[in-house]
Amino acid sequence: MIRSLYCFFLGMLVLSGCAPSHILHYREDVSRDFTTISFSANRAPYYHRSQVGGEHMSFVQVLGFEGAVFRIELILEVGNVDCSIYGEGVVVESDPAGDNTQIVTVVDGEVLFSVGLSAYPYGEYTLKISNL
């Protein structure tokens, strides 16, 4: 009985401090990682810290709806990481507020646009995606 109560209260403490995840789906292949995210359950910025290099690439796919605006910020830690944003139904513009920052506006219905990250020979980065 005491053990059951302890587990219940411990679970309540852990769950009360956790926000819903942005991640809808994750798939890892030999040299590619694919993460699909949404901001419908969590409006806080999404952070993705990882490393890429050689043939290995990471892709973050963002689900967006018409009128949504996203800020994509690449924070370089080691090396030189390339960031490409592509997809149909979006307009991508450079953010004058900072280097390595793009503004993505969804202009057509619902879309799934991709942020592709690669480096040669190696790079470490943090990707920050904010729903404005």
Band (7; pLDDT cuts 50, 70, 90): very low
Please tell me the predicted confidence (pLDDT) of residue 92: 93
Q: What is the structure's pLDDT at 17? A: 47
- Say what the pLDDT of residue 18 is: 53
Strand partners, 112: 63
* pLDDT at position 5: 40
Q: What is the DSSP letter of 99?
A: T
DSSP character for 54? T
Q: What is the pLDDT of residue 42?
A: 83
How far apart CA 75 and CA 101 sit, in angstroms, is 9
In the chain, what percentage of residues exceed pLDDT 90? 45
Q: What integer best gives the mean pLDDT of the chain?
A: 83
- Residues 73-107 have pLDDT tens digits of 999 998 889 999 999 999 999 888 778 899 999 99
Q: In terms of pTM, does the model score above 0.75?
A: yes
Looking at residue 55, its pLDDT comes to 85
- Cα 62 to Cα 72: distance, rounded to the nearest angstrom: 11
| pLDDT of the residue at 19 | 59
